[in-house]
Amino acid sequence: MNKPIRFLSLLSVLIVTLLFYNAINKTEIDPKTSTHKTYKIKSLKLPTDLNLAGERVPLEKLDIRERMDRELLVNTYWQSNGLLLIKRANKYFPILEPLLKKYGLPDDFKFLALAESAFIDETSSAGAAGMWHFMKTTGKEYGLEINSNVDERYNIEKATKVAAEYLKKSKERFYSWTLAAAAYNAGNYGISKRLKIQQVNNYYDALLPDETERYVFRIIALKEVISNPEKYGFVFDQEDLYTIPETRTVKVDTAISNIANFAKKFGITYKELKIHNAWLRENKLNNKSRKLYEIKIPVK
* pLDDT, tens digit, 9 for 90 and up, residues 226-252: 999 999 999 999 999 999 999 999 999
Q: Which of 76, 84, 68 shows the shortest CA–CA distance to 117?
A: 84
Residue-level pLDDT at 3: 44
Using pLDDT thresholds of 50, 70 and 90, give the confidence band for residue 124: confident
pLDDT at 32 over 50: yes
HEC per residue, 139-194: HHHCCCCECCCEEHHHCHHHHHHHHHHHHHHHHHHHCCHHHHHHHHHHCHHHHHHH
How is the chain classified by DSSP, letter by letter?
-HHHHHHHHHHHHHHHHHHHHHHHHHPPP-TTT-HHHH---PPPPPPTT-EETTEE--TTSHHHHHHHHHHHHHHHH-HHHHHHHHHHHHHHHHHHHHHHHHTT--TTHHHHHHHHHTT-----TTS-BTTTTB-HHHHHHTT--BSSSBBGGG-HHHHHHHHHHHHHHHHHHHS-HHHHHHHHHH-HHHHHHHHHHHT---GGG----HHHHHHHHHHHHHHHHHHSTGGGT----GGGS-----EEEEEE-S-BS-HHHHHHTTT--HHHHHHH-TTB-SSSB--TT---EEEEEE--
In whole angstroms, what is the distance from residue 262 CA to residue 279 CA? 16
Residue-level pLDDT at 17: 54
Separation of CA 95 from chain center: 16
Residue-level pLDDT at 7: 42
In whole angstroms, what is the distance from residue 179 CA to residue 116 CA? 16
pLDDT 10s digits, 134-184? 999 999 999 999 999 999 999 999 999 999 999 999 999 999 999 999 999
Q: Is 221 or 42 the better-scoring residue by pLDDT? A: 221
- Average pLDDT on 26-52 reads 72
In whole angstroms, what is the distance from residue 297 CA to residue 220 CA? 35
pLDDT 10s digits, 61-79? 999 999 999 999 999 999 9
Using pLDDT thresholds of 50, 70 and 90, give the confidence band for residue 206: very high
Residue-level pLDDT at 125: 82
In whole angstroms, what is the distance from residue 14 CA to residue 19 CA? 9
- Average pLDDT on 195-217 reads 97
146 forms beta bridges with 151
Are 50 and 59 within 8 A, CB to CB?
Answer: yes
Query: How many C-beta neighbours within 10 Å does residue 214 have?
Result: 18
Residue-level pLDDT at 4: 45
The predicted model scores a pTM of 0.85
Residue-level pLDDT at 126: 84
26-35, 109-118, 209-218: which has the minimum mean pLDDT? 26-35
pLDDT at 37 over 90: no
39-43, 127-131, 179-183, 295-299: which has the minimum mean pLDDT? 39-43
> Dihedrals φ, ψ of 121, to 5°?
-85, 75
